[in-house]
Amino acid sequence: MLYILEAIKNVDYRIVNLLFSNRSGFLSDLFLNITYLGSNIFIVFLSAVVICALIISRKKYTALVFAGSIFATGLSVYFIKILVSRVRPDSVFALYLESSPSFPSGHSAMSLCLYGLLAYLAVLLFKKKYQKVIILIISILLIVLIGFSRVYLGVHYSSDVLAGFIVAVPWLLLGAHLIKNLRENKVYLSW
């Protein structure tokens, strides 16, 4: 087990060093903008907009499931960060400083859950296969780019990002499953 942890640490350090040594001004600006799409402020704002839209559309249970999935993901990340308390990469690598523990990446977890659920809702809404494929490709690309941005900007290790994705997957799948059941049972209107 110690060998595996040491191997993960070595890969993490190599990736951070590689990205740092190949960092450019254009890419730094690009990834600063991309990482904002996974920030707490943006996640809360976009989640609130989606929840309000669902409530206005008389899909109150779907709004509740959506909110619950996002909240559960955030809570899971919060407690794991406290439990593990991994120090972030050295500040020499960071394009800006973060104060919370490194493991797991909250940006990655929250992005996977939020944009994954948004993609699922959009796929249910659109009828044509090409529209569904485009939505899925855009969502996957956005999630991956947000995760990558965290490592590129030097505020996370690659294993933090992977762990963030892993933390979010059960909440995304549970949320999608419950939304599917609500849709199949046509439970939209009342509490």
∠ Cα 25 112 177 (to 5°): 165
Convert the pLDDT of each residue in 30-52 to its tens digit: 999 999 999 999 999 999 999 99
Residue 15 binned pLDDT confidence (cut-offs 50, 70, 90)? confident
Range of the domain at 53: 23-184
Instruction: Tell me the pLDDT tens digit for each residue of 117-130.
Output: 999 999 988 889 99
- The DSSP output letter for 153 is T
Asked whether residue 42 is domain-assigned, the answer is: yes
Residue 191 lies in a domain: no
The active-site residue, picked from 111, 149, 156, 159, is 156
Q: For residue 54, what are the contacts with CB-CB under 8 A and spacing of at least 6?
A: 60, 62, 63, 66
Active-site position among 59, 60, 88, 107: 107
**Separation of CA 96 from chain center:** 19
Determine whether 107 is an active site residue.
yes
Residue 3, domain member (yes or no): no
The pTM of this model reads 0.89
Which pLDDT value is given to residue 189? 44
Both structure tokens of 56: 């206005």
> Comparing C-alpha atoms, which of 102, 109, 94, 116 is closest to residue 162?
109
Cα 21 → chain centroid:
26
Is there a domain that residue 4 lies in? no
Cα(109)–Cα(88) distance, integer angstroms: 17
Number of domains present in the structure of the chain? 1
In the predicted model, is pLDDT for residue 187 greater than 70?
Answer: no
| Model pLDDT for residues 68-107, shown as the tens digit of each residue | 999 999 999 999 999 999 988 888 887 788 888 989 999 9
> What is residue 117's predicted lDDT score, i.e. its pLDDT?
97
Residue partners of 129: CB distance under 8 A and separation at least 6: none
H helix runs in the chain, sequence order: 2-21, 25-36, 40-56, 60-84, 106-125, 129-152, 158-184
- Does residue 127 lie within any of the structural domains? yes
Residue 15 placed within a domain = no
Q: How many Cα atoms within 13 Å fall on the side-chain side of residue 13?
A: 8
- In a domain? residue 134: yes
Would residue 177 show up in a list of annotated catalytic residues for this protein? no
